[in-house]
Amino acid sequence: MTRKQKRVLVRIIISAVLLIVCSVVGRYDFGMPEVWHERLMFVLFMIPYLIIGYDILKKAILGIVHGEVFDENFLMAVATVGAIALGEYTEGTAVMLFYQIGELFQSYAVGKSRKNIAALMDIRPDYANIEQNGELVQVDPDEVAVGTIITVQPGEKVPIDGVIVSGSSSLNTSALTGESVPREVNPGDEVISGCVNLSGLLQIRTTRAFGESTVSKILDLVENSSMKKSRSENFITRFARYYTPAVCIGALLLAVLPPVCSLLAGHDAHWSQWLIRALTTLVISCPCALVISIPLSFFGGIGGASTQGILVKGSNYLEALGETAYVVCDKTGTLTKGVFEVTRVMPEEGFTEAELLETAAYVEHYSSHPISKSLKEAYGKAVDTSALSAVEEIGGHGVTAVVHGRSAAVGNAKLMERLGISCRTPREIGTQVHVMIDGRYAGCILIADVIKPGAKEAVAGMKAAGVKHIVMLTGDAKNVAEAVANELGIDTVKSELLPEDKVNEVEALLASKGKKEKLAFVGDGINDAPVLSRADLGIAMGALGSDAAIEAADIVLMDDDPAKIATAIGISRKTLGIVRQNIVFALAVKFLCLAFGAVGALSMWWAIFADVGVMIIAVLNATRALRYRQ
């Protein structure tokens, strides 16, 4: 409990004790005239009333001064001041007391829900170690230049993204990915900020400035998530804007019209009776349950998702995820590991396997594509870049170059067709890399990708979560794509696509879906930025440390587990269910109590219990969004 919450609790206890004392004292007249007894009770009750309600009265006055009249502070101030003016001292003070109890409760609940976000914020490093004159000196991470060697000792956070120069260790990435299994790292491995070094001493050469590092981008993403509100939150904001003035006008009419009508009919006006009813409706109408519980529900959902390694950029995206009917997945890096291995080398007559692998490795030397890496690993030798020239990458096709003075091309069948070279198509399943040397077809290298463990269960989980149709898009060959799709249970597969073709396919799906249905695209966040941006919802998969993912996607899954897609959808739908429950419950109780209060069937005691009770139940329900079980 914070210091401010403790002060409020002390005020509640003091006020409650004084209210009980005043109520007991009020039963005795001590032989005083009634008018003096009334004045004494007013003075005595004003002590607990001002102790518990001075801040509410202050906020109400400031709201009136600044033109923001109709809020819960104004309602409480009018209702309680009105009750005291009518001599209902106990009720007026009790209303303010129970309102403050409810406010304390919701403040505590919000604080609890913030702990998940606070835990995530703990990944921010406080310092970086730099060696100076043989000693380690702690400096501000902002002051560390790119290329500096920093030292990370066991138990410390990695402050800035970089590459390990020396040392081996295990890194705890749970704050970023939600995974408890440590990651083993060795010299040459890339490491990202926010991870905790568990064992060995590491020396790291920084590759980014602190402001551009992974931890800074993630923290900025989370801190700004509350800026993007859901439709439900915007609805409640607009609803409260009109609802509160409406009930104030309604209460005023209830206080004036019936007595006036009674006077015109020649009957007693009963002004105090109708004024009490009007004040009671003001207490009942306070929209706290809705105004507090709806944002708290989404905040809880975002916080709960963060503990699973799922970063949501705003409650509007969490809401959209719950309405997702179509999920479009990229294949490589999303459903498959993206770890390619050369499984077969098939040279044409006049060429050798070694010649094919060498040419492919040289031509693909500057590419970072997983297929290029597998070709270089299969070659297994150093590339003499002086023998390589005129390198040109052709998007969606492959790469051409001059190797050892000979023209060469490495890519898919489309590249060969573009160059006017006929090629053969092996029957084996796998990605086919065709090689051309000096204008002749030199042969084919077969590369196979590996399906991620749990990918099949992830597809089944998405369908169980309510996704209607799952589509896989890939630039890979048709036979390879269909084999993967069949194994995973994908509904539709589109293969041999260029990057612009993927956007066109998503456009077609967007045009065919229902108005209330959402389409989510799941990609690796590096090559799929255009499609991530075009879909209703962009989900970056396995995006740990990827700038493109964090910037282009609406939701970032911080590890390579495809099951997190279904988890994210489940969290979203649970959160939306809680939001709907709170809206229906709060409005139903409010309008029912307003009807009873208007006809005098509810006293002000019942009114405050109804208001605070609804708020407490709604807030308790909202905190359920923090916890999610598969």
Same domain, 443 and 475: no
537: Cβ contacts below 8 Å, ≥ 6 apart: 317, 320, 321, 324, 518, 519, 520, 521, 554, 555
Q: pLDDT higher for 148 or 617?
A: 148
3-state class (DSSP) for residue 462? helix
Cα–Cα distance measured from residue 71 to residue 291, given in angstroms and rounded to the nearest whole number: 10
Q: What percent of the chain has pLDDT over 70?
A: 87
Strand partners, 152: 202
Whether 253 is in a domain gets the answer yes
Same domain, 352 and 320: no
Assigned token pair, 499: 């990057």
- In the chain, how many domains are there? 4
pLDDT at 327 > cutoff 60: yes
Task: Yes or no: say if 319 and 298 are a contact pair by the CB < 8 Å rule.
Answer: yes
What is the DSSP annotation of 569-594?
HHHHHHHHHHHHHHHHHHHHHHHHHH
Is beta strand 537-540 parallel, antiparallel or unpaired with respect to 555-557? parallel
pLDDT at 354 > cutoff 80: yes
Please give the pLDDT value at position 542: 62
Same domain, 541 and 493: yes
Please give the pLDDT value at position 328: 92
Mean pLDDT of the 351-378 span: 88
Of 88, 80, 87, 86, which is closest to residue 52 (Cα–Cα)? 80
Whether 213 is in a domain gets the answer no
Active site residues: 330
Task: Yes or no: say if 480 and 433 are a contact pair by the CB < 8 Å rule.
Answer: no
Q: Average per-residue pLDDT in the chain?
A: 82
Task: Yes or no: say if 171 and 158 are a contact pair by the CB < 8 Å rule.
Answer: yes
Same domain, 173 and 46: no
Mean pLDDT of the 417-429 span: 84
User: Could you give the C-alpha distances from 333 to 311, 329, 523, 590, in angstroms and in order?
Assistant: 19, 10, 8, 51
pLDDT at 598 > cutoff 90: no
Please give the pLDDT value at position 14: 94
Same domain, 328 and 384: no
Least trusted range by pLDDT, from 46-55, 266-275, 348-357: 266-275
pLDDT at 30 > cutoff 80: no
Helix (H), strand (E), coil (C) string for 329-370? EECECCCECCCCEEEEEEECCCCCHHHHHHHHHHHCCCCCCH
Quote helix, strand, coil % in the chain, to nearest 5: 55, 20, 30
Cα–Cα distance measured from residue 138 to residue 69, given in angstroms and rounded to the nearest whole number: 52
Please give the pLDDT value at position 471: 93
Whether 363 is in a domain gets the answer yes
- Domain of 522, CATH number, reads 3.40.50.1000
Strand arrangement, sheet containing 388-394: 341-347, 440-448, 431-437, 406-411, 398-403, 388-394
Same domain, 391 and 539: no
Cα–Cα distance measured from residue 307 to residue 374, given in angstroms and rounded to the nearest whole number: 34
96: Cβ contacts below 8 Å, ≥ 6 apart: 49, 52, 53, 56, 76, 80
Is beta strand 518-523 parallel, antiparallel or unpaired with respect to 324-330? parallel
pLDDT at 12 > cutoff 50: yes
Mean pLDDT of the 325-353 span: 85
200: exposed, middle or buried (C-beta count within 10 Å: 0-12, 13-18, 19+)? middle
Whether 126 is in a domain gets the answer no
Cα–Cα distance measured from residue 194 to residue 212, given in angstroms and rounded to the nearest whole number: 13
Same domain, 292 and 315: no
Determine the straight-line distance between the first and last CA of the chain, rounded to whole angstroms: 31
Please give the pLDDT value at position 545: 47
- Which residue has 């597969």 as its token pair? 493
Q: Which helix (H) or strand (E) element contains residue 398? A: strand 398-403
User: Could you give the C-alpha distances from 329 to 135, 356, 493, in angstroms and in order?
Assistant: 50, 33, 9
Q: pLDDT higher for 21 or 277?
A: 21
Cα–Cα distance measured from residue 177 to residue 195, given in angstroms and rounded to the nearest whole number: 10
Least trusted range by pLDDT, from 244-253, 390-399, 527-536: 527-536
Please write down the long-range contacts of 107-110, taking CB distance under 8 Å and 24 or more positions apart: 107/5, 107/8, 108/1, 108/5, 109/296, 109/619, 109/620, 109/622, 109/623, 110/292, 110/296, 110/299
Assigned token pair, 444: 């084919």
Question: Which residues span the domain enclosing 391?
Answer: 341-448
pLDDT tier for residue 531 given thresholds of 50, 70 and 90: confident
Same domain, 414 and 519: no
Q: Which of 393, 413, 448 is the last residue of a domain?
A: 448
Rg for the chain (alpha carbons), in Å?
34
pLDDT digits (tens, 9 = 90+) for 536-583: 888 887 655 455 556 667 888 877 788 888 899 999 999 999 988 988
Whether 216 is in a domain gets the answer no
What is the DSSP annotation of 486-522?
HHHT-SEEE-S--HHHHHHHHHHHHHHS-TT-EEEEE
pLDDT tier for residue 180 given thresholds of 50, 70 and 90: low
Same domain, 9 and 113: yes
pLDDT tier for residue 142 given thresholds of 50, 70 and 90: confident
Whether 521 is in a domain gets the answer yes
Same domain, 598 and 617: yes
Same domain, 290 and 319: no
pLDDT tier for residue 360 given thresholds of 50, 70 and 90: very high
Question: If you ran DSSP here, which 8-state letter would residue 145 be given?
Answer: P
Cα–Cα distance measured from residue 347 to residue 625, given in angstroms and rounded to the nearest whole number: 58
**Amino acid at site 216:** S
Whether 33 is in a domain gets the answer yes
Same domain, 178 and 234: no
pLDDT tier for residue 163 given thresholds of 50, 70 and 90: very high
Q: Which helix (H) or strand (E) element contains residue 324? A: strand 324-330
Whether 616 is in a domain gets the answer yes
Task: Yes or no: say if 585 and 615 are a contact pair by the CB < 8 Å rule.
Answer: no
